[in-house]
Amino acid sequence: MIEIRNLSIGYDGKVLLSIPSLDIPDGKLVAILGRNGTGKSTFLRTLASLQKPLSGSISYDGLATSRMTDLQRASKVAVVTTSRVRIPAFSVRDFVALGRTPYTDWIGRLSSEDVALVDRAVSLTSLGTLSDRSLDSLSDGECQKVMLARAIAQDTPCVLLDEPTSFLDYPNKRQIVSLLKKVAAGSFDEKKCTVIFSTHDIALALEYCDSILLVNEGNMEFWENSQAARNRVWRLLDSER
């Protein structure tokens, strides 16, 4: 469970979003929808403790992010940003294995369980044929899949993703969102996971997601995915044309 109380986020004292109270339950696929510049990425960065809130608190299963150690945070939350990692001579598999860093010993040795989780992440994201390729040889779409695979290998109860379907063609967009749905539901290992992602692929979000976080005029509306939620999203989009 992610619990948000009296949260204000933004930069240099300027508030982009205010969220009085919000609880996000486990095992849900949640899409963040809204216009550019409204705070979607800032919200994800704040959830991930990549930047501090202006005020308020965020807790994961009762533990406030402000009190977490780096190791606790890494075992709670995996993050996929919009950055593309291009490290020459660094293979896809080696990068995916970095997701196991919070659990390895001081020299980074992988246990048999670590290896199995890396293998699973590579398989789930259809990267098997690319596992020995260097990161700097990949397309943008392939690189995005590698970033997602690393997050899956980290095996956390929460995954945060900023525009995970960017640079992908439509069949691959559907594959990725469908995969996120299965990860959230615990379809692969019976461990449910809260998956939250920002996207401009409105139709895919409304098709697959359990819940919607709709950013509108400095506020965030939480909707269970329903006809009323879909109507609200499309009404807001129509009003922006």
Q: What is the mean pLDDT of each run of 10 residues along the chain (241 residues)?
A: 93 89 93 89 93 93 90 91 80 93 82 92 91 89 89 94 88 90 84 92 93 91 90 75 42
Distance CA 164, CA 125 (A): 12
State the residue for tokens 């943008």.
140
Residue 118 has a pLDDT of: 94
State the residue for tokens 């063609």.
169
Q: Model confidence over 81-113: pLDDT tens digits?
A: 887 777 788 899 999 999 998 888 777 788 999
Bridging pattern class, strands 77-80 and 29-33: unpaired
What three-state secondary structure class fits 151? helix
Helix crossing, 140-154 with 170-185: angle to 10°? 0
How far from chain centre, in Å, is Cα 109?
26
How far from chain centre, in Å, is Cα 14?
25
pTM for this model (two decimals) = 0.91
Residue 238 has a pLDDT of: 63
Residue 127 has a pLDDT of: 92
The residues, ordered by sequence, that sit 6+ positions from 98 with a Cβ below 8 Å of its Cβ are: 150
Residue 240 has a pLDDT of: 47
Which pair of tokens denotes residue 131? 């596992």
CA distance to 72, 108, 134, 175, 207, per residue, from 196 (Å): 19, 29, 29, 16, 15
Q: Answer yes or no: are the C-beta atoms of 164 and 144 closer than 8 Å.
A: yes
Which pair of tokens denotes residue 45? 């960065």
Three-point CA angle 43, 210, 174, nearest 5°: 90
Position 149, amino acid: A
Beta bridge partner(s), residue 29: 195
Q: What is the DSSP letter of 88?
A: T
Residue 169 has a pLDDT of: 87
Position 100, amino acid: R
Residue 237 has a pLDDT of: 66
Q: Model confidence over 159-181: pLDDT tens digits?
A: 999 999 887 888 889 988 999 99
Half-sphere exposure of 235 (CA within 13 A, CB side): 8
> Which of 162, 150, 46 minimizes the C-alpha distance to 100?
150
Output b/e per residue, 60-77; b: 16+ Cβ within 10 A: beeeebeebeeeebbbbb
Residue 218 has a pLDDT of: 87
Termini Cα distance of the chain: 36
